[in-house]
Amino acid sequence: MNNRKPVLLIGIGPLATEPDQNFIAAPGIRSWQFLQSALEKNPVILVTKELGPDKKTGFKKVENTSRFVHYSTRENMKEIGQYIKKLCQKNDFAAVTIIGSTSLAEVLPFLPSSIPLWFDLYGSVIAEGQVKAAAEKNNDFLDYYLNLEYQALTSGDMFSTVSTPQKHATIGELALTGRLNSFTNEYPFCHIIPATYFPQPATSQGNVLRGIKVKENDFVVLWSGGFNNWVDEKTLFEGLTRAMQANPSLHFVATGGQIKGVAHTIFNRFYDRVQSSPYRKQFHFEGWVNGSLIPSYYREADIAVNVDLPAWETRLGARNRLLGWIYFDLPIITTSICEFAGNLEKHRACYTFDAGDASSLAQTLLTCQKLPRRCLQATAQRAKALFLERYCVESIMKPYRKWLDNPGKAPDYEFYSHHAYRFPNFSPFRRKEQRNHPPVSSFKARLKQLWKKWKK
């Protein structure tokens, strides 16, 4: 193993277990997930794009051992690409893995196409663009998301998704980009690698809620994480207020809030509703608290709530926050739209309500409040058992570890050519007369040209 070539990982930071962080997003957890498996097989050089606005930070060497080097940066994607190009010139990489965010596809022009590439499509960036467009009532940026996905699909040799529905969607996208051809007829292009959870180091201390912001016997409903564009804030608010009207001892606590640069509209709407509510004193907004304190909030809450819109992003994606709650034995109320929540429901490992139905949410909250503590804990334990059986790292990362044993280019590499199908000005969202992409006839001509080149 010590003689193996290094692997280059390109991901998002901060990583899951970095201490003293107020905001660790799901892509940072995903990057850590792949890193642990890669280190079992190969020496690793990791470059992480830290969340937040671009800054001239340079490339900070966070860790440097004989088997692991980690560079962290907030530079723009062009600068990151140039740095990665230099790393590839200095190192003989066995493979490259891009993890956690399709936005990292912007570095692809700087990567040597001869190095095998695993691209982790962590949720559908196209569906994320759709739900953002719906939240902000603006379609102008959809081109950007589409082209990111297109670049990833036309460059990767192997792909991973977070769910079965997303895998099926990805196969359809690969077909539209010409990757389903005679060379890949039996090639397993895509693997399902669900999300998992890694806790941050906890700080031992006293209560953060009970006896301070709520009474010892109040029923605490917890929300943790960002109010992303897939959140049904209207149903969440109306369901909570109806339950509060029926039982004044019910309190809602939110850690998290806006996600800068990604989602701000949803939280602002929710917050404004709360400020106009006669029950606003039963809502507690803690903001982005330090990760070391999160276990204290989990411990003091009675139940956690997740409310999804029935959007395509929900159907194709995952919900990391559910995994965090499960890890700390916190019972869950959730919509059951995404695959993971549906699995919890099948195993009686959560409490569900009808999407978009505030009355259903309120009734579920009140029912759970009346249940004996042992019943809530039994549900949480079923969820924990399912997590340990199906979603632990050792189980879900097997396809990636197997690929690292013998990484290779996709069978259509010589035929396909990584950039042969890319149309930089392609935009299905412009008016028809403004589109700038070749007609089908020229597309077929290009295919014939590639075929003749390959035969030679």
Contacts 24+ apart (CB under 8 A), 268-275: 269/233, 269/234, 270/227, 270/231, 270/233, 270/236, 270/237, 273/233, 273/234, 273/237, 274/237
Q: Give, for 324, the enclosing helix (H) or strand (E).
A: helix 320-327
Going residue by residue through the chain (456 aa), what tens digit of pLDDT does each one get?
Answer: 456 899 999 999 988 777 666 667 889 999 999 999 999 999 999 999 998 767 788 999 999 999 999 999 999 999 999 999 999 999 999 999 999 899 999 999 999 999 999 999 999 999 999 999 999 999 998 999 999 999 999 999 999 999 999 999 999 999 999 999 999 999 999 999 999 988 766 666 689 999 999 999 999 999 999 999 999 999 999 999 999 999 999 999 999 999 877 888 999 999 999 999 999 999 999 999 988 889 999 999 999 999 999 999 999 999 999 999 999 999 999 999 999 999 999 999 999 999 999 999 999 999 999 999 999 999 999 999 999 999 989 899 999 999 999 999 999 998 876 444 444 444 444 433 333 434 444 455 655 666 666 665
Looking at the fold, whether 260 and 379 belong to one and the same domain comes out as yes
Looking at the fold, whether 224 and 128 belong to one and the same domain comes out as no
Does residue 202 lie within any of the structural domains? no
Burial 116-153 (b: 16+ CB within 10 A, else e): bbbbbbbbbbbbbbbbbbbbeeeeeebbebbbbbbbbb
Quote the pLDDT of residue 151. Answer: 92
Does residue 19 lie within any of the structural domains? yes
Q: How far is CA 313 from the centre of its chain?
A: 11
Domain that holds residue 120: 7-195+396-422
Of residues 30, 80, 32, the one with CA closest to residue 55: 80
Looking at the fold, whether 245 and 145 belong to one and the same domain comes out as no
Looking at the fold, whether 404 and 333 belong to one and the same domain comes out as no
Looking at the fold, whether 148 and 277 belong to one and the same domain comes out as no
**Whole-angstrom distance, CA of residue 451 vs CA of residue 429:** 31
Looking at the fold, whether 311 and 289 belong to one and the same domain comes out as yes
Looking at the fold, whether 368 and 236 belong to one and the same domain comes out as yes
Sheet holding 158-161, edge to edge: 60-64, 68-73, 44-50, 7-13, 95-98, 117-120, 158-161, 190-192
Answer whether 0.85 is exceeded by the pTM.
yes
Looking at the fold, whether 75 and 119 belong to one and the same domain comes out as yes
Looking at the fold, whether 242 and 94 belong to one and the same domain comes out as no
Looking at the fold, whether 151 and 12 belong to one and the same domain comes out as yes
Does residue 431 lie within any of the structural domains? no
Burial 323-342 (b: 16+ CB within 10 A, else e): bbbbbbebbbbbbbbbbbbb
Q: How far is CA 17 from the centre of its chain?
A: 16
Report CA Rg, the chain: 23
Q: How would DSSP label each residue in 230-272?
A: TB-HHHHHHHHHHHHHH-TTEEEEEE---BTTTB-HHHHHHHH
Does residue 435 lie within any of the structural domains? no
Does residue 206 lie within any of the structural domains? no
Question: How many domains does the chain fold into?
Answer: 2
Does residue 433 lie within any of the structural domains? no
Does residue 275 lie within any of the structural domains? yes
Looking at the fold, whether 189 and 273 belong to one and the same domain comes out as no
Q: How far is CA 106 from the centre of its chain?
A: 18
Looking at the fold, whether 371 and 404 belong to one and the same domain comes out as no
CATH code for position 50: 3.40.50.2000
Q: Give, for 60, the enclosing helix (H) or strand (E).
A: strand 60-64
Does residue 258 lie within any of the structural domains? yes
For 50, phi then psi, to 5°, come to: -75, 140
Please identify, among 391, 411, 435, the residue that sits at the C-terminal boundary of a domain: 391
